[in-house]
A and B are shown apart, each in its own frame.
Chain A
């Protein structure tokens, strides 16, 4: 309805929009808000439940978020080691983010700006890797990490995460670089810039949306990964949050307040990252779709 107003004010309306009541073009309000409201309920009730259980005092039965207590958080953070798990997850997440972005940036530039022997083969191989099941790679990866002495090391997780994130990241970044006119770089070379300086001065600043997308994908993915962390790390001091959470779930008598608080600890960073990037997510994918 908002669109009809400015259009009516145009001096030369190309076509007057058909009247609202008879138009099949318009969707009425309740046709949007009713299904959307129902779906929001389905989305938000689980989050709400987790928050209520995390913050409510022991023995309380109320579903209202008052009074609140931080007891559950103290229990999980210090008593159950979630502070340590959080640190481990953060280390793996940030390290995966950096290594994925750097490797994908350098490889993506090569794929976008050079024709070289083996380029097509590499692209096809990258698509094939999308069908490799992570769970299925557990055995051979475990063997490799054992040979490298990386079992029980967080670096094993960083390596595994980076490798599984690389194909998608390479495709995304090289696609973005392709959309940056090479003439911009050429102008820098003419001015006497080296290729490297040209890259940093011209290309990198324009890649910000791609870097945000790739970096946050890598971070969220590695923050959430469970199976690798479960398999490659068995010392409790090296657990990541999903593994810690899974062990809380697996306890004989589950402490639901602690479970919920642990869940909040695990959720907050990714939800924050997601809140920042979600606009770019749709925009970035639309842009990719336009370019075909």
Chain B
């Protein structure tokens, strides 16, 4: 991020021709134009087209018909609502746990290096693998609840993924497991840049630990928190691996996010035009949300 705001600097003379930077950056530009910008533009184009592989006779210019259909589609609103709920719950909980963890492993204690490595490790685990592990843990015959029931705690019938009342909580916990380390790593990195003299001075002035946290730590972490929550919100909104494999968006579309709905539309009904309209809507919503979030949170403002 810092790269973008950095001003121009006079640089000394150097060997090489003036076109050298263009040659160097060409592969990156070509790759991103071809496989990011062009696809994005074609999504915009398709969103204005009737384009359905299974109904080719209807293909053609659609105007805003796809968007009209979207506004009348109850599943669009339901999946958008669930996406919002999912992102809000996940980001909030991941931030709280991640911050607490970062504060803990920032202290000096015996076994710190190992604790850090262990606590951070689920970060490297994929969504599908997370699903595999938690399916094992949640299953009534192989899971934790069965062994707890053996000990007389809870009941043998506990099946969090099969019960519509608990499936959301079950998915949230599984995603927390691999999501918390992201915040812990980022916030720990930022905690380590706080000048320790500030704490010493505050301690001499008699500030309690809570006050030091509120007046030194939090203000310092502010920008890191804003940025990490934004990145994570976008990531949680977009990511489909875990829910796709853990719940499949069910039961009865209860856990279908907007990207899951798009994937289902594209794969199952081959309605690329409508899928593209959904994609465009999601992109606009994300962009609007991101700008509003950065503005309202006063990112980068001095406190």
Contact = CB atoms under 8 A, between A and B. Distances in A.
Interface string B82-113: 00000000000000010011001101110001
B55 to A, nearest CB: 16
B185 A282 contact: yes
Contacts of B43: 136-137, 139-140
B3 interface: yes
A286 B102 CA distance: 13
B193 A289 contact: yes
B20 interface: yes
B282 interface: yes
A43 interface: yes
A259 B126 contact: no
For chain B, what secondary structure do more than half of its interface residues adopt (helix, strand, loop), or is it mixed?
A: helix
A226 B135 CA distance: 17
B286 to A, nearest CB: 5
Contacts of A136: 43, 238, 259, 262, 279, 282-283
B137 A245 contact: no
B115 interface: yes
B169 interface: no
Interface of A: 2-3, 15, 18, 23-25, 27, 29, 32-33, 35-36, 39-40, 42-47, 49-50, 53, 63, 102-104, 106-107, 109-111, 113-116, 119-120, 122-127, 129-141, 143-144, 159-160, 162-164, 166-167, 170-171, 174-175, 178, 182, 185-186, 189, 194-195, 220, 223-227, 231, 242-243, 245-246, 248-250, 254, 256, 259-260, 262-263, 266-267, 270-271, 273-275, 278-279, 281-286, 288-292
Of B39, B206, B287, most A-chain CB atoms within 10 Å? B39
Contact of B105 (A2, A36, A63, A106): A36
A271 B124 contact: yes
Contact size class for B? 35 or more
Contact of B11 (A113, A133, A266): A113
B40 interface: yes
A250 B135 CA distance: 11
A275 B32 CA distance: 31
B42 interface: yes
Given A46-B137, A131-B286, A139-B276, A115 B11 contact: yes
Contacts of A279: 113
A226 B42 CA distance: 23
Contacts of A262: 132
A291 B189 CA distance: 13
Interface stretch (B67-75, B139-147, B152-160): B139-147
B183 interface: no
B24 A263 contact: no
Contacts of B21: 110, 113-114, 116, 119
B150 to A, nearest CB: 9
A220 B124 contact: yes
A132 B41 CA distance: 12
A244 B263 CA distance: 19
B203 A130 contact: no
B266 interface: yes
B290 A270 contact: no
B139 A249 contact: no
B240 interface: yes
B123 A274 contact: yes
A45 B137 CA distance: 9
B177 A175 contact: no
Interface of B: 1-4, 6, 8-9, 11-12, 14-16, 20-22, 24-25, 27-29, 31-32, 34-40, 42-43, 46, 97, 100-101, 104-105, 107-109, 113, 115-129, 131-137, 139, 142, 144, 147, 177, 185-186, 188-190, 192-193, 199-200, 203-204, 206-209, 224, 231, 234, 237-241, 244-245, 259-260, 262-263, 266-267, 272, 275-276, 279, 282-283, 286-287, 290
A162 B30 CA distance: 12
B199 A44 contact: no
A227 B237 CA distance: 15
Given A36-B115, A132-B36, A111 B287 contact: no
Contacts of B116: 278, 282
Given A113-B14, A224-B125, A286-B190, 6 more contacts: A111-B25, A126-B32, A132-B36, A226-B128, A271-B125, A286-B193
Contacts of B104: 32, 35-36, 39
B101 A39 contact: yes
A289 B107 contact: no
- Nearest 4 CB-CB pairs, A to B? A224-B126, A140-B39, A285-B189, A107-B28
A242 B119 contact: no
Contacts of A248: 132
Contacts of A134: 238
B29 A186 contact: no
Contacts of A107: 24-25, 27-29
A256 B282 contact: no
Contacts of B186: 285
B11 A24 contact: no
Contacts of B39: 137, 140-141, 144
